[in-house]
A and B are shown apart, each in its own frame.
Chain A
Amino acid sequence: MSDWMKLSALEMGEALRSGKVTSAELVEASLARIEALNPSIHAFLAVDAEGARATAKEVDELRAAGADLHPLAGVPVAIKDNIVTEGLETTAASRLLEGWIPPYDATVVARIKEARLPIVGKTNLDEFAMGSSTEFSAFGPSKNPWDLSRVPGGSGGGSAAAVASYMVPFALGSDTGGSIRQPAMFTGTVGVKPTYGRVSRYGAIALASSLDQVGPAARNLADAAALQDIIAGPDHRDATSLREDAGSMTDALGESVENVVKGLRVAVIDEILAEDYDEDVRANFERTLKELEDAGAEIIHFSLPSIQYAFATYYMILPAEASSNLARFDGIRYGTRWIPTDNPTPTVNEVMAYTRDQGFGVEAKRRIIMGTRVLRAENYDDYFGAALRMRTLVREDLEKLFEQADVYVSPTALSTSFPFEREVKSPVEAYLNDVATIPANLAGLPALSIPNGVDAAGLPTAIQVVANQREDARLYSVASAIEELVAEDVVECRYLDDYSVPAPARADREGK
């Protein structure tokens, strides 16, 4: 097997432009790895070999004819399966949508097609993006390439695992409360949630509309920036889309660490740090802070009391919006319809109810029921209304923070990747794992996760960087400096032909 897939997306683009490789070869290499590794990792729900090959062929022909192509034209990419792809099955990992072939493209997909990146397939997720481990996929969980007995995170576990196992150099995810960033930490990759509205949500199957954001998953920041540059920008199909031009994230990278970090005001929020982090996660975070400080950054401690309520606020708003957004899956127009077996002449209401009973998984039902109660007229003020007011407070507090700091940082998640079944057995504990990532979604802030080391078990840890609204460029710039500062602490994802090999223990790396 050739090892073209070891390259980053930008390196692939370079190799394509210099004629060292063709897009057809890259696509074949990607498809071969998927074929070989997907049975054990289960990152992909659907593979579109035919479509990817067609795009590759087109790119190779155009390049041969001297056409002016996007720098990443021909580089394979994967799409989280809650993002709609015309003519390619899109299930959101739910039985309800099994077999649904959308008649249209999400805006982000249309932009990827315009740049001519071959889409090799659709990646696994927790059903309708609800979960922190990808165990709630109706089609079976994805595995963490670092350790197959552990979860790749959620809900974007499929995209993260596909990237971490070098099936594709990058992929699209969606982040409602951390679904790009937490899997990025769990798989030692980079995950970015852009400013709310920076990337169109059109065609991303809605979980919680006011929190959802599409963004890139990659093995390094430069690739993530390049992918964000392709998908970001105003979209008239999304009324919440930001109207101004997104600017280039790629251009925001590449400044010297010294220039970026010197005098950089980096905030840490006491209330987030007070959470119950794994020891190694905390230790690695403290080390990164120290490295930042040594490089000339100013570390500022902030107390933002409202942040303590962000978690509760999120778990009012998310299920409320989800219960509304998921109401359309009723078996009437598309997807799967279940007819009650014990009732030969059911009413339409009985068919809808039975379809939803059979079609939704346990986590989806849990949140739909929660959300339905939150929105009931008699509860509205006490729950949803209170959550909206709390959300405003969180936003205002964070605005105050950004008057005095350029970014704030935290560990991305409380713990490194956990073994299967933990989330299933203890949903609230799993919800809590998102406590550090949630505030950015509530306030619409751009945020990302980059690896900053490993724990004692050799599993990756990560630091989350959060910037003020619309300051995606600053976010990338600061994160890129941190990426360079912590480079020595980081272990790269293993490029293996068989991921069932045990993960290296931390001890292997002592004395580096």
Chain B
Amino acid sequence: MTYEAAVKKYQPTLGLEVHVELNTATKAFDDSPQEFDAEPNRSVNEVSVGLPGTLPVFNEQMLESAIRLGLALNCKIAENTTFARKHYFYPDLPKAYQISQASDPIAYDGYVDVELADGSMYRIEIERAHMEEDAGKLNHVGGDGARIHGATYSLVDYNRSSVPLVEIVTKPFTGGGERADEIAAAYVQTLRDIFRTLDISEARMERGNVRADVNVSLRKSEDDPLGTRTETKNVNSFRSIERAVRFEVARQAEILDAGEKVFQETRHFHEEDGSTSSGRPKSDADDYRYFPDPDLPPLTPDPVWVEQLRAGLPEMPAVKRRRLQKEWGLADLEMRDIVSSGALELVEATVAEGASPAAARKWWNGELAKTARIDGIALADLPVTPAQVAALQTLVDEGRLTDSLARQALEGVMAGEGEPHEVVASRGLEVVSDDGALGEAIDAAIAANPDVVAKIKAGKVAAIGALVGGVMKATRGKADAAKVRGLIAEALEVD
């Protein structure tokens, strides 16, 4: 069954658990550094690998990040919060328990407003956001595609062990209907923007800084109790989240249609074809034997400090977007293009450097977006700064560059030839504004094209374009085409 058909027959209920790795200098419970590119088992010490006798010590920076995130998600902040031990055996979990939070998470009862592609808003309620440490990583060697199946052996890398995480758990959300997939992806994207705005995480999906577990269940109607859910683990791109939802909804609908029961389990997501496959059975009775970690005293965040953190929060992305759109006088669609292309910060910076919002938008969503697309890189990674773009625009505004000259100048800037004015000088790009020189070129063009001149005089004014082209060629594109057109019209005494 297709997703579209499935959502006509069934109502999907979704729940998302999003893990974000915090960018603290050191780990959650020890002072080994957080380094992304370290060789396996280099960013560790005896605490992060859980050697006998070692004890965790809490990283205060983690608490601050978690509280700021909680506040940004409109959550209440716990007055008293503890760490618990969550037990399970796995080779990448060195203590055989993960330090997490159970009954009293640092933040709870919040919400996030998510903006969809058509500009409509959907509110997702947050049940809790809690702190925990990450586990290490298994590298399966000798098999097919680093899978455990067929591997001849596995290596354990503990660099990620005890990296600080915040897990954000939504309440189940319904009513998304056919847009459930879009809502899920947009929610995680909204979170990603918040993480970056708060500067608490690199939030790079491809590095696994942000990972989502997607819970899906179906029911016939709103009056029915929630159906049996599956949990698709570790989905780490927006598109994958969308695909995982679509696949699970369609798959479960088929099962229900056949009169069978959905099996409660965790599922793996497969990037290649967007499918999910059965993981391990998971029941609500999974027993992690939680209990308060006796090595870590309870935390009681000072309410005054929490209020200071609240006051110091940066403007959240959604609020900022609405403010800028209003300030810039852009249409909804224009603003969404800017946001979805990742150009918001760049446009903002370019405007701050003196360009008009319209011009800044035109640069970043036009010429620069094209270049980035061709080069296959992010806009922000282009070798040009908002200040340089604004400088180019200023030259255009001053009439010293035409649009096409400005594009050539940009090319020079990106080739590392210097600042815009230097490129203009070294490449000799400045508009020819010397009327004498222009006049000569115009006279030459008129003299060389008597047939065109005849057409124009006969009333085909549009043919002026051919003469303008000749002049532009003669000046190697450095003349202002509009001005040339005017001068020719004047010389031939037409309008």
User: Which A residues contact B (CB, under 8 angstroms)?
Assistant: 83-84, 90, 92, 97, 100, 102-104, 106, 201-206, 208-210, 236-240, 320-321, 323-324, 327-330, 332-334, 348-349, 352, 372, 375-377, 380, 384
Q: Whose C-beta in chain A lies nearest to the C-beta of B295?
A: A209
- A239-B295, A324-B97, A377-B287 in contact; A203/B53 too (CB < 8 A)? yes
A327-B52 in contact (CB<8A):
no
- A324-B85, A352-B89, A384-B291 in contact; A377/B53 too (CB < 8 A)? no
Residues of A within 8 A of B285 (CB): 377
State how many angstroms separate the Cβ of B45 from the closest Cβ of chain A: 8
Residues of B within 8 A of A83 (CB): 53
Beyond contacts A103-B51, A239-B297, A327-B97: 4 other A-B pairs, Cβ-Cβ < 8 A, are A83-B53, A202-B55, A205-B52, A321-B294
CA distance A43 to B357 in the complex (A): 82
Residues of B within 8 A of A104 (CB): 46, 51, 54
B57-A328 in contact (CB<8A):
no
- A240-B297, A376-B287 in contact; A328/B94 too (CB < 8 A)? yes
Residues of A within 8 A of B87 (CB): 324, 327, 375
B55-A238 in contact (CB<8A):
yes
Within 8 A of A (CB), among B248-291: 285, 287, 289-291
A333-B94 in contact (CB<8A):
yes
Scoring B56, B87, B94, B289 by chain A CB atoms within 10 A of each residue's CB, the highest score goes to B289
Q: Whose C-beta in chain A lies nearest to the C-beta of B29?
A: A239
Q: Whose C-beta in chain B lies nearest to the C-beta of A384?
A: B291
B289-A102 in contact (CB<8A):
no
A84-B53 in contact (CB<8A):
yes
- B55: which of A102, A239, A334, A376 is its contact (CB, 8 Å)? A239
Tell me if B58 is interfacial: C-beta within 8 Å of chain A. Answer: yes
Q: Whose C-beta in chain B lies nearest to the C-beta of A204?
A: B53
CA distance A399 to B85 in the complex (A): 29
- B57: which of A103, A106, A237 is its contact (CB, 8 Å)? A237
Residues of A within 8 A of B294 (CB): 208-210, 240, 321
CA distance A239 to B57 in the complex (A): 6
Residues of A within 8 A of B94 (CB): 328, 333
B91-A332 in contact (CB<8A):
yes
- A320-B291, A324-B291 in contact; A239/B56 too (CB < 8 A)? yes
- B289: which of A84, A203, A237, A377 is its contact (CB, 8 Å)? A377
Tell me if B156 is interfacial: C-beta within 8 Å of chain A. Answer: yes
CA distance A156 to B340 in the complex (A): 66
Residues of A within 8 A of B154 (CB): 348
A328-B50 in contact (CB<8A):
yes
B53-A206 in contact (CB<8A):
yes
A324-B289 in contact (CB<8A):
yes
Within 8 A of A (CB), among B14-39: none
Residues of A within 8 A of B291 (CB): 320-321, 324, 375, 380, 384
Residues of B within 8 A of A333 (CB): 49-50, 94, 156
State how many angstroms separate the Cβ of A383 from the closest Cβ of chain B: 11
CA distance A206 to B285 in the complex (A): 29
Classify the secondary structure of B's interface with A.
loop
Scoring A90, A92, A323, A332 by chain B CB atoms within 10 A of each residue's CB, the highest score goes to A332
Scoring A97, A204, A327, A384 by chain B CB atoms within 10 A of each residue's CB, the highest score goes to A327
Scoring A208, A238, A328, A333 by chain B CB atoms within 10 A of each residue's CB, the highest score goes to A328
A330-B89 in contact (CB<8A):
yes
B297-A327 in contact (CB<8A):
no
State how many angstroms separate the Cβ of A106 from the closest Cβ of chain B: 6
Tell me if B95 is interfacial: C-beta within 8 Å of chain A. Answer: yes
Give the tally of cross-chain contacts (CB within 8 A): 98
B52-A84 in contact (CB<8A):
yes
State how many angstroms separate the Cβ of B389 from the closest Cβ of chain A: 49
User: Which B residues contact A (CB, under 8 angstroms)?
Assistant: 46, 49-58, 85, 87, 89, 91, 94-97, 154, 156, 285, 287, 289-291, 293-297
A102-B95 in contact (CB<8A):
no
CA distance A130 to B290 in the complex (A): 23
13 A-B pairs within 8 Å (CB atoms) are namely A92-B52, A103-B46, A106-B53, A201-B55, A202-B53, A202-B55, A203-B54, A239-B56, A239-B297, A321-B294, A324-B97, A332-B91, A376-B289
Residues of B within 8 A of A84 (CB): 51-53
Q: Whose C-beta in chain B lies nearest to the C-beta of A371?
A: B289
State how many angstroms separate the Cβ of B351 from the closest Cβ of chain A: 48
Which 8 residue pairs of A and B lie closest in terms of their CB atoms, listed nearest first?
Answer: A327-B96, A210-B294, A375-B289, A209-B294, A203-B53, A84-B53, A205-B52, A205-B53
Q: Whose C-beta in chain B lies nearest to the C-beta of A94?
A: B52
B52-A332 in contact (CB<8A):
no
B52-A90 in contact (CB<8A):
yes
Q: Whose C-beta in chain A lies nearest to the C-beta of B91?
A: A332
Q: Whose C-beta in chain A lies nearest to the C-beta of B286?
A: A377
Residues of A within 8 A of B97 (CB): 324, 327
A330-B53 in contact (CB<8A):
no
Residues of B within 8 A of A375 (CB): 87, 289-291
CA distance A104 to B48 in the complex (A): 13
- A321-B294, A324-B97, A330-B89 in contact; A239/B52 too (CB < 8 A)? no
Residues of B within 8 A of A377 (CB): 285, 287, 289-290
CA distance A320 to B379 in the complex (A): 54
Residues of B within 8 A of A329 (CB): 52
Residues of A within 8 A of B293 (CB): 209
State how many angstroms separate the Cβ of B347 from the closest Cβ of chain A: 46
CA distance A204 to B295 in the complex (A): 12
A328-B52 in contact (CB<8A):
yes
Q: Whose C-beta in chain B lies nearest to the C-beta of A377?
A: B287
Residues of B within 8 A of A330 (CB): 89, 96
- A238-B55, A239-B57 in contact; A372/B289 too (CB < 8 A)? yes
B91-A102 in contact (CB<8A):
no
State how many angstroms separate the Cβ of A422 from the closest Cβ of chain B: 30
CA distance A352 to B49 in the complex (A): 17
CA distance A445 to B279 in the complex (A): 49
Residues of A within 8 A of B55 (CB): 201-202, 206, 237-239
Residues of B within 8 A of A92 (CB): 52
CA distance A324 to B94 in the complex (A): 12
Residues of B within 8 A of A205 (CB): 52-53
Residues of B within 8 A of A332 (CB): 91, 156
- A103-B46, A239-B57 in contact; A327/B51 too (CB < 8 A)? no
CA distance A372 to B291 in the complex (A): 11
CA distance A13 to B387 in the complex (A): 73
CA distance A328 to B54 in the complex (A): 11
CA distance A329 to B54 in the complex (A): 13
Q: Whose C-beta in chain A lies nearest to the C-beta of B293?
A: A209
CA distance A74 to B94 in the complex (A): 38
Q: Whose C-beta in chain A lies nearest to the C-beta of B50?
A: A328
Residues of B within 8 A of A210 (CB): 294
Residues of B within 8 A of A106 (CB): 53
